[in-house]
């Protein structure tokens, strides 16, 4: 299934300009570079050890078909131990590699959107949920779905606010799920 999704997206990127899918509109929705900060409140069994996480994204958005933004992004996320959990020098960090998109309901100064992202997380941990030591690098599928608002401030500068439900397929008995709160700054690129 993932191969089919990547093939479709690659086809859109390669042939989209020939089909005029990525023509820039006259409104506020443009191709953009985004830098976002995030906070995650972990849920479920995973949160019994790792209470929350913080980090950031850098990404690129490609506007197409009036109300859509195809997004490619990566970042850095560091999980924080729950108070009272005493695992010496425990760490768990994630490098997300994501692709997805947003649908904007209107193209104006205030642009509410829904969003879906999916991809792979590179998880670097030196302690598992049971407190056993050992450096591991895991590759796990992840997705998130949410909503938010883009506010176009002036010229090509905008801010984004968003809330997402996210699920990282860490372990069957301890899914890394949670609510992700995002604040970002974007810079629209004119064609």
- Tokens 């409104």 locate to 27
Q: b/e for 144-173, b at 16 or more Cβ within 10 A?
A: bebebebebeeeeebebebebebbbebeee
Per the domain annotation, does 11 fall within a domain?
A: no
Both structure tokens of 168: 């990282």
**Structural domains of the chain, count:** 1
What is the per-residue pLDDT across 123-144, written as a single tens digit (0 to 9) for each? 999 987 888 888 999 999 999 9
List the one residue out of 176, 175, 86 whose CA is nearest residue 131.
Answer: 86
Using a 10 angstrom Cβ sphere, with 0-12 exposed, 13-18 middle and 19 or more buried, the burial of residue 63 is: buried
Q: What is the pLDDT of residue 5?
A: 58
Q: Which residues, given as ranges, of the chain have pLDDT below 50?
A: 19-24
Domain contains 63: yes
pLDDT of residue 127: 83
What gap in Å lies between CA 160 and CA 148, rounded to an integer?
Answer: 7
**4, part of any domain:** no
Q: In this structure, what CATH number is given to the domain that contains residue 127?
A: 2.40.160.20
Domain-embedded: residue 14:
no
The pTM score is 0.82
* pLDDT (0 to 100) of residue 44: 85
In a domain, 113, yes or no: yes
* Structural Rg of the chain based on CA atoms: 18
Amino acid 20: pLDDT: 47
- The contacts of residue 79 (CB under 8 Å, 6+ apart) are 42, 50, 52, 53, 91, 92, 93, 94
How much is the pLDDT for 87?
85
Hey, what are 182's tokens?
């995002």
Write out the residue range of the structural domain in which residue 138 sits: 22-189
CA distances from 175 to 49, 76, 172 (A): 12, 19, 6
Exposure of 73 in the CB half-sphere (CA atoms within 13 A): 28
Whether residue 177 lies inside any domain: the answer is yes
């Amino acid at each position: 299934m993932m191969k089919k999704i990547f093939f479709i997206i690659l086809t859109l990127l390669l042939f989209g300009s020939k089909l005029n899918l990525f023509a820039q509109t006259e409104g506020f929705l443009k191709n953009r570079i985004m830098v976002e900060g995030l906070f995650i409140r972990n849920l479920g069994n995973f949160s019994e050890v790792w209470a929350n996480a913080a980090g950031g994204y850098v990404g690129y958005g490609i506007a197409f078909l009036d109300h859509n933004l195809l997004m490619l992004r990566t970042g850095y996320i560091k999980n924080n131990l729950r108070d009272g959990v005493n695992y010496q020098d425990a760490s768990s960090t994630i490098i997300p590699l994501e692709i997805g998109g947003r649908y904007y309901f209107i193209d104006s100064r205030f642009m509410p959107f829904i969003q879906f992202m999916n991809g792979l997380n590179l998880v670097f941990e030196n302690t598992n949920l049971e407190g056993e030591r050992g450096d591991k690098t895991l590759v796990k599928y992840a997705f998130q779905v949410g909503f938010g608002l883009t506010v176009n401030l002036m010229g090509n500068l905008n801010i984004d606010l968003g809330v997402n439900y996210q699920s990282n397929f860490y372990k069957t008995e301890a899914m890394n799920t949670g609510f992700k709160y995002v604040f970002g700054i974007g810079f629209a690129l004119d064609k």
